[in-house]
Every structure is written in structure tokens, then in C-alpha cells.
Amino acid sequence: MELLDAHGTALETFDRVTHRIGEWDSPTPCSEWSVRDVLNHLTEEQLWVPHLLHGETMDQVGDRYSGDVLGNRPVARWESAAAAARAAWLEPGATEREVHLSFGTSPAQLYLEQMTFDLAVHAWDIGVAIGVDPRIPAELARLIDRYTRPKISAWRGAIFAEEVPVDANASAVARLIALSGRDPHWRR
């Protein structure tokens, strides 16, 4: 599985779970976020993608996507943002560009890795919060783990908690969730 394909799979996985949301205020493994908060976060991330892939800086985008970006039609807003983000990633040469992120200029490939990671892990967050198996493909989890594990120490504290220990025979999905600092056995 190539990274761009992995992103598409992670996006589809998150989308599938999003369409199953019934309880918007349910708690999630992201202890400070409800299901709606997680969806708002991922929708906001998708809204940024076309801007950043087209060379805009974070300052140029500004605070236009701050706060509640979902409005009264959260799933429709998610669908629109996700479609625009995916289209931007599929543009010729998009993954070879440089993007301006919060920590400086970075290869778009690294940005794509981060977005794919976030989509998969937050699909799991919403899935377990609403009692739906997010069905993250093992191949996707292994690929994300392979490119994230060497870089995640730089994200600890600011973005993720420490890795949660799991059994040596844990599934690829459980290892990915544990890598993100979440307990793969979390239940509400």
C-alpha cells in the first residue's frame, strides 16, 4: 500500500464511522473531546489541506477555521471538507511540494503521513466512543506504524501521550492505537 492509497483508505475509514454517529456528546478516548469535538478537529484539518498544498502559510489562512466548523450539518460539512482535501492530495505533484506547518516548512509527504495517522486513530476514537468497529485495515495500521514510529518521539507531550504497553501478539491496530498513547482496550 502506497502512502497516498493509505490516506484514501484512512479517509474512507473515518468517513464510514462518521456516518454512524448518533450520540454527538459521547466521551472519547481523547479525554477532553466529545465525538463532535473529534469530528470538528478532523474537519478543520481537512479544510486546511487545499490552502497548505497550494502554498499558503498558516498566517495567510489565519483563524478562518477556528472554533466550530461543523455548524448544524456536521456530516455534510465533514463530507465537503474531506472531498476538497482528497482532491488536493490527488493533484499531480501534490506529495512532492513543500508546505508551511506550525513547526516550519516541511515536505508535503510528512504532512500526508500525519494526516493519514490522524484519520486512522481518530476513526478508532469515534468508533469505540459510539460502539462501532472502525474496521481499520491491518495493512493500513502496519504502514502507519512503520512511518510514524521513528518520528513519534518528537510529538510526545505536545500531541501524544506516552505509548501504552501491549502484548507482543497484539493486533496491528492495537499496536497503532497504543503508539498514539491510547489504551486499545478503552471503552466508555
Low-confidence ranges of the chain (pLDDT < 50): none
Maximal C-alpha separation, the chain: 47
43 in helix, strand or coil? helix
pLDDT at 4: 97
pLDDT at 153: 79
pLDDT at 179: 93
pTM here is 0.95
pLDDT at 156: 65
DSSP 119: H
pLDDT at 1: 65
pLDDT at 187: 86
Grid cell 478532523 in the structure block, residue? 42
Crossing angle between the packed helical segments 108-130 and 3-18, to the nearest 10 degrees: 30
Listed residue (132, 152, 112, 168) closest to 17, CA to CA = 132
pLDDT at 158: 57
Phi/psi for 163 (5° steps) reads -60, 140
- How many Cβ atoms sit within 10 Å of the Cβ of residue 149? 13
pLDDT at 125: 97
